[in-house]
Structure 1
Amino acid sequence: MNNKTLSILSYITIIGWVIAFVKSKDLTPKSDLVNYHLKQGFGIFIVSLILNIALSVVVAAVPSLYFLSYIGYILFILWIFGIINAANEQKKPIPVIGKIFENQFGFIN
């Protein structure tokens, strides 16, 4: 797989991320683009997981706050931005939350 494909795949569910992570270890030379999007993809996965668990608890406790579930649409839009950046082979962070993940997840390098 080429760098562009692995970059896009790093956003497609956690299974796609694992495949991209394993395949990126085989690349010589190492691709900064793939590593960057692996970090961004893993970051948005972690944020969406934590946010969905928290929102499920909040909505279960206070059903009148059901409108908070629309935050999932915002995460979906951010995820689309990440895929677009990967498809364009750009090392741009995901809006709002992407800068946080640029220097995190040292195991990806």
Structure 2
Amino acid sequence: MNSPVANDGKTAAIVAYFTIVGTIIAYFINNDSKNPFASFHIRQALGIHLAFYLLGALVSIFDNWMITYSFWIFILVLGIYGLITAIQGEQRPIPLLGEHFQKWFSTIH
């Protein structure tokens, strides 16, 4: 279900999921065209990366390998889910947090 809009923004959408630097690069790639598909995935990826850092700081308080591994698996699953939807040309928000990321980062176009 790749629309022309999704095809035009697919590169920026995929790049956004590779580290926070990739999200910044994708933002600047999308800065001129303002592709809505790319903007959606940039907001999702930015949310995942910020959740990684914020939750990572919280998890580091606990010295428990079960909590740490659960955190890593949670972030990894969210990132893979977002990447797969970007590759497929779909705009599905990531589970649990995706709708919030779209609201919180609505200024990213």
TM range (shorter): 0.7 to 0.9
Structure 1 letter corresponding to 2:30? S
Residue 45 of structure 1 corresponds to which residue in structure 2?
49
Matches within 5 A, 1:81-96: 81-96=81-96
Identity %: 30
Provide TM-score, normalisation by structure 2: 0.86
What secondary structure is seen at the aligned counterpart in 1 of 2:104?
A: coil
How far 1:37 sits from its partner (Å)?
0.4
Query: Which runs of structure 1 show a deviation greater than 2 angstroms over 4 or more consecutive aligned residues?
Result: none
How far 1:40 sits from its partner (Å)?
0.3
Residue 5 of structure 1 corresponds to which residue in structure 2?
11
How far 1:91 sits from its partner (Å)?
0.7
Provide TM-score, normalisation by structure 1: 0.86
User: 1:18 and 2:17 equivalent?
Assistant: no
How far 1:45 sits from its partner (Å)?
0.7
How far 1:107 sits from its partner (Å)?
3.3
How far 1:20 sits from its partner (Å)?
0.5
| Count of paired positions | 101
Structure 2 letter corresponding to 1:74? F
What secondary structure is seen at the aligned counterpart in 2 of 1:58?
A: coil
Structure 1 letter corresponding to 2:38? V
What secondary structure is seen at the aligned counterpart in 1 of 2:62?
A: helix
How far 1:26 sits from its partner (Å)?
1.9
Unaligned ranges ≥5, structure 2 = 1-7
